[in-house]
Amino acid sequence: MWTSQERKRVDTCDVVIVGAGLVGAAVAAHLAQNGIGTAVLEARSVAGGATGRSAGMVLTGLPGHYNWAASAYGRQKAQEIWALTIEGRERLVEMANRLNVPVQHTGSLALAVEETEADALRESAVLLQEDGFEARFNPRDILDRGFCAALRQPDDVTVDAAELTRALLDSSGVTVHEGTEVYDLEPEGDNVRVWAQGRTVLCNAVVLAVNGYAPLLDSYFADKVAPTRSLVFATDPLDGMVLDVPCSADYGYETCRQLPGRRLLLSSWRRPRTGGGQEPEADLDDVVQLGLARFAERHFPDIKVAGAERWSGVMGFTDDGLPLVGTLPHLPQVYFAVGLGGRGLPWAFVAAERLIALMWRDADPGILSAQRLGGTAAL
């Protein structure tokens, strides 16, 4: 129940953005630059969700390799998806340079943990080159760590995503209310009332940029966005450099990156099943932790992982692995860009730009449109 003091804290603004991750920050900055009164409500702290708990790897494409994508989506759509992640990476780098946030131009490696995956990487390299993408296949264990082959993508980067998000919000002058969890959204005439911790805000429109937490805010997302946890191990600083390039392995389920301070990050996730057959969260957590422990033991046996700092994050997945941009069918003043999957950083600015175009011009979000998942989202 609201106390009498909390009931008095009623605010108004043009647009409320729920979620202070990279997507929310990008949308907020654009709106503020165009004179739209904007406030950001964040349940924890700026970049306290998936953005800040990522490994900071801005990788081209989707997990699962390009040959899988060409088979699952069709060649033309796979090509469009890869091109969009490259566009998103370029937008991220442009913004980071503008805000003086360091970007490391490292490239990346996709590593095969078995011969079947090595074949997938070999086939993917051929398809990528045919479709105009930079990719180089190496059939050897170039890291000497028990891998079978590698695919190098030379233009991928790494960045401190939390630093970039904070810099973007600071530069925009947007008011950010941290520790302000949103509980409910309700229509009020042509406006929306946002019920949040300690305050209520009456606004013209709402933007949901909460990724995997979307089902907690509205039942519309229950069968469209499946939350799942990722797990990260962070070792103490190592004596030397073990990796000079960020890597993904096992069809993208595991990643590894050494930070400038020489700490090694090892991370893992597993794709959940959306809909009625979803695995219990506790069981999936056990699978993730066991998978990461085995990966570390097999490929980094010389590095002390036991006792390493650990943290987890929540990611949001759609059935087809692509972000979801649209408006709520029962509350069309509420816009959303959610479900960015296991590689959210290259999608952040693409999803934000599609959402802004939808808000300003009623433009079709294209391949990211929520209408593709059943056609129930109003555009």
Per-residue pLDDT of the chain (379 residues), as tens digits, is 344 444 446 689 999 999 999 999 999 999 999 999 999 999 999 999 989 888 899 999 999 999 999 999 999 999 999 999 999 999 999 999 999 999 999 999 999 999 999 999 999 999 999 999 999 999 999 999 999 999 999 999 999 999 999 999 999 999 999 999 999 999 999 999 999 999 999 999 999 999 999 999 999 999 999 998 889 999 999 999 899 999 999 999 999 999 999 999 999 987 654 444 444 455 667 788 888 999 999 999 999 988 889 988 899 999 999 999 999 999 999 999 999 998 999 999 999 999 999 999 999 999 999 999 874 333 2
Is 44 within 8 Å of 178 (Cβ atoms)?
yes
Is 270 within 8 Å of 228 (Cβ atoms)?
yes
Long-range pairs, 297-301, Cβ under 8 A, ≥24: 298/146, 299/145, 299/146, 299/147, 299/249, 299/256, 300/145, 300/242, 300/256, 300/264, 300/266
Write down the pLDDT at residue 373.
84
Task: For residue 129, give both structure tokens.
Answer: 């080159």
Write down the pLDDT at residue 376.
36
Return d(Cα 291, Cα 103) in angstroms, integer: 30
Residues 6 or more apart whose Cβ sits within 8 Å of residue 306:
none
Task: For residue 147, give both structure tokens.
Answer: 């891998």
Write down the pLDDT at residue 290.
87
Write down the pLDDT at residue 283.
66
Residue 20 has, within 13 A of its CA and on its CB side, a CA count of 28
Task: For residue 70, give both structure tokens.
Answer: 């060409």
Calculate the dihedral angle through the C-alpha atoms of 271, 76, 356, 194, rounding to the nearest 10 degrees.
-30
Phi, psi of 165 (to 5 degrees): -65, -45
Task: For residue 283, give both structure tokens.
Answer: 């069981």
Write down the pLDDT at residue 280.
47
Return d(Cα 68, Cα 85) in angstroms, integer: 16
E strand or H helix at 256, and its extent? strand 254-258
Domains in the chain and their CATH numbers? 4-52+162-222+321-372 (3.50.50.60), 104-157+225-317 (3.30.9.10)
Nearest to 358 by CA among 379, 337, 340: 379
Is 266 within 8 Å of 256 (Cβ atoms)?
yes
Write down the pLDDT at residue 270.
77
Go through the chain and tell me how many residues it has.
Answer: 379
Write down the pLDDT at residue 196.
96
Nearest to 147 by CA among 109, 179, 182: 109
What is the SS3 assignment for 154?
Answer: coil
Task: For residue 137, give both structure tokens.
Answer: 């296949």
User: CA end-to-end span of the chain, whole Å?
Assistant: 35
Using CA atoms, how far residue 208 sits from 88, 332, 335, 337, in Å, is 19, 12, 6, 6
Nearest to 133 by CA among 114, 151, 117, 111: 151
Could you give the maximum distance between any two Cα atoms of the chain, in Å?
68
Find where tokens 């020489």 sit: 262
**Conformation bin of residue 306: beta by default, left when phi > 0, alpha when psi is -120 to 50:** beta
Return d(Cα 364, Cα 276) in angstroms, integer: 29
